[in-house]
Amino acid sequence: METKGRRNMENSIRAASGFIAAAAIVLTVWVSPALADFESGWQAYQRGDFAGALKEWQPLAQSNDARAQYNLGILYDQGKGVDADRKQAAALWQKAALAGYAPAQHNLASNLISGDGVEQDYEAVLKWLNKASDSGLARSSYTLGKMYHYGLGVPKDVERAFALFLKAGEQGYDRAQYNLGKTYRDGDGTEKNLVEAVKWYRKAAEQGYAKAQSSLGVRYARGEGVAKDEVQALMWTILAANQGLKRAVDDRAYLAKGLSPENVAQAEKLAANWKPTAR
Amino acid sequence: MAIRRFFMSVFVVALIGAGTITPAAAASGGASQFIRDLGDQAIQVLQTQGLTLEQREGRFREILRQGFNVDFIGRFVIGRYWRKASAQQKADYQQFFGEYILQTYAGRFGGYAGEKLTITEEKPAGKTDVVVRTRISRPSGSPINADWRVRATDGRYGIIDVMVEGVSIALTHRQEFSGLIKKSGVDGLINLLHARVDKLPATTAMVK
């Protein structure tokens, strides 16, 4: 409504003047309607008015706005403001993916792995993940790394997996960093290096990734790749256990048994005051 | 219907015998209070100003994580396959199932503007559990009836199932996953869950 009103007002300005200032306004008017609709859809989405977001994005998606197709796909995938429909989500992501929109290529690949709304198709998964990874999407590089790590749709290739984890890990993706920790620990796709393992576990742990926190705790407890420090070990284990990670819950009890009450209290205090780093 | 009843009896059998119940936790009204507290926390988080929807849903997931007995639900959902799974498969499955279930239901229940949770009834279910019936209402759209099956384990309440409009999430997933495991094994299920939680969220930026 507001947009329409503004458009009318600005249309009349356009009609009434030949000044450069007015020409500048005209330019904004020509450029802004689509942006304004996308943006009001986004505002509605953020407010939790998903039906409102759907209403804004639907016409944009129909006129081939890749970003609107992508976000509309999210609404269908999660059943927000509309009944969940994975087939519709996949179809929207397919359109945006064909237009070269990397997040849509990634999410379409996810559906092609799980067979949600589309037939499972590893060949297509690899095609889309490669495109999105080439565009610099860290999550796609990581997922592609997992495909090579497990040999899904490709011959197993741990060196290739390592290189892809490294690409995503250097971009700050926590799951990739955790996997780098594991590959360095085991010498799986790269040379074994416990110091490097700790470095990568720590990067993911500091972002709050539970499995990495647990693994870092184990490194501290054993003094592998890092100086042995049982208080640090317990602190990282507590953080992982608080997120419900089973092995950390077990380790926590075991580690606490071997420590003095003062040290346990210290670790608990460190854990309580701990804050994740921003991604 | 027959299948449903069969699953229901399996479910009831599965529920009996796991975990002990303490008298304090079993006291009448306790389970409702537990759900009410969770609901209050959830609504407070979901209405926090200055956070993105993604951040609000992230915090809501943490509240659900504290309230859901994710471990129990996960084991129930894959039933007999749990015992046959390797330690690595169990760990991977529990991680991705936990993420998946929390993500799904944080998205399903939360995030809507002006949401309210009303407790309509509390009734015992079997010997060990209590079902807390709630209505989640939203200014736009019709209300959702959600029944929370709550069990006290070691003196702590935990949600072990949710029935949305009468349909159990534990049973729905059990049916979906058992077919999948038959077709592509426990590893196939792990890959599916991994792919489902690996998706990117909605965006405002033109990411290339």
Judged by CB atoms closer than 8 Å, whether chains meet at A80 and B107 is answered as yes
pLDDT band at A15 (very low <50, low <70, confident <90, very high): very low
Task: Supply the pLDDT for residue B29.
Answer: 79
> What is the sign, positive or negative, of the torsion defined by CA atoms of B155, B157, B161, B166?
positive
User: Chain B window 110-169: which residues touch A at a Cβ cutoff of 8 Å?
Assistant: 111-115, 140-141
Q: How far is A6 from chain B (nearest CA, A)?
A: 23
pLDDT at residue A34, as a whole number: 55
User: Which chain A residues are Cβ-neighbours of B207 within 8 angstroms?
Assistant: 101-103, 137
Cα–Cα distances in angstroms (integers) from residue B114 to residues A47, A57, A268, B137, B162, in the given order: 9, 22, 37, 8, 22
Residue A184 resides in a domain: no
Structurally, chain A folds into a number of domains equal to: 1
Residue A138 lies in a domain: no
Chain A positions touching B173 (Cβ under 8 A) are: none
Residue A36 confidence (pLDDT): 54
Distance from CA of B150 to the nearest CA of A (A): 18
Q: Any chain A CB within 8 A of the CB of B51?
A: no
Select from B62, B89, B200, B203 the residue whose CB has the most chain A CBs within 10 Å, as the one to mutate to test that interface. B200
Domain ranges of chain B: 2-197
At residue B113, does pLDDT exceed 70? yes
Do A113 and B52 count as a contact with CB atoms less than 8 A apart? no
Cβ separation A139–B204 shorter than 8 A: no
Task: Please state the φ and ψ torsions of residue B165, each to the nearest 5 degrees.
Answer: 50, 40
The larger pLDDT score, comparing residue A186 to residue A4, is at A186
Q: Can you tell me the mean pLDDT for B142-148?
A: 91
Closest partner residue to A45 among B46, B202, B206, by Cβ?
Answer: B202
Residue A245 pLDDT level (bands cut at 50, 70, 90): confident
- How confident is the model over A198-226, as pLDDT tens digits? 999 999 999 999 999 999 999 999 999 99
**Cβ-Cβ contacts under 8 Å, A150 against chain B:** 191
Instruction: Assign domain B2-197 to its CATH superfamily.
Output: Tgt2/MlaC (3.10.450.710)
H/E element, A28: helix A20-47
Which member of B113, B191, B207 has the closest CB to residue A113? B191
Closest CA–CA distance from residue B30 to any residue of chain A (Å)? 23
pLDDT at residue B28, as a whole number:
61
pLDDT at A164: 98
What is residue B138's predicted lDDT score, i.e. its pLDDT?
84
Contact A246 B199 (CB under 8 A): no
Any B CB within 8 A of A114 CB: yes
Contact B202 A211 (CB under 8 A): no
Q: Is residue A252 part of a domain?
A: no
Judging contacts by C-beta atoms under 8 Å, the chain B residues touching residue A152 are 191
Residue B20 has pLDDT above 50, yes or no: no
Q: Using the beta-carbon criterion (under 8 Å), do A146 and B194 form an inter-chain contact?
A: yes
User: Does the structure show a pLDDT above 60 at B8?
Assistant: no
The reply to whether ipTM tops 0.85 is: no
Please name the residue of chain A whose CA is at the shortest distance from the CA of residue B142. Answer: A81
For the segment A217-236, the average pLDDT, to the nearest whole number, is: 98
Tens digits of residue pLDDT in B83-98: 999 999 999 999 999 9
- CA distance linking residue B193 with residue A146, whole number of Å: 14
Q: Could you say which of A101, A135, A247 has the minimum Cβ distance to residue B91?
A: A247
Task: Report whether B169 contacts B163 (CB < 8 A).
Answer: yes
Distance of alpha carbon B141 from the chain centroid: 22
Residue A193 within a domain: no
Q: What is the mean pLDDT of chain A?
A: 89
Closest CA to A213 of A231, A232, A227: A232
Residue A38, domain member (yes or no) = yes
| A11 lies in some domain | yes
| CATH at residue A99 | 1.25.40.10
Contacts of B201 in chain A (CB under 8 A): 74
Q: Which residues of B touch A101 (CB under 8 A)?
A: 207-208
Q: What integer is the mean pLDDT of B46-62?
A: 86
**Closest chain A C-alpha to B152 CA, distance in angstroms:** 17
3-state SS string for chain B: CHHHHHHHHHHHHHHCCCCCCCHHHHCCCHHHHHHHHHHHHHHHHHCCCCCCHHHHHHHHHHHHHHHECHHHHHHHHHCCHHHHCCHHHHHHHHHHHHHHHHHHHHHHHCCCCCCEEEEEEEEEECCCEEEEEEEEECCCCCCEEEEEEEEEECCEEEEEEEEECCEEHHHHHHHHHHHHHHHHHHHHHHHHHHHHHCCCCCCCCCCC
Structure tokens at B141: 């759209």
Which residue segment(s) compose the domain that A90 sits in? 1-119
In sequence order, what are the residues at sequence separation of 6 or more whose Cβ sits closer than 8 angstroms to the Cβ of residue A77? A84, A86, A89, A107, B199
Instruction: For residues A111 and A128, give the distance between their C-alpha atoms in angstroms, rounded to a whole number.
Output: 11
Q: Who among A39, A102, A211 is closest to B208 (CB)? A: A102
From the list B7, B8, B9, B15, the residue with the least C-alpha distance to B153 is: B15
Q: Could you read off the pLDDT of A251-267 as tens digits, one per residue? A: 999 999 999 999 999 99
> Are residues A177 and A199 in contact, defined by beta-carbon separation less than 8 angstroms?
no
Who wins on pLDDT, A22 or B201? B201
pLDDT 10s digits, A41-67: 999 999 889 999 999 999 999 999 999
Does any domain span residue A44? yes
Closest residue of chain A to B115, computed from CA coordinates: A48
Q: What is the mean pLDDT of residues A269-276?
A: 97
Is residue A205 one of the residues assigned to a domain?
no
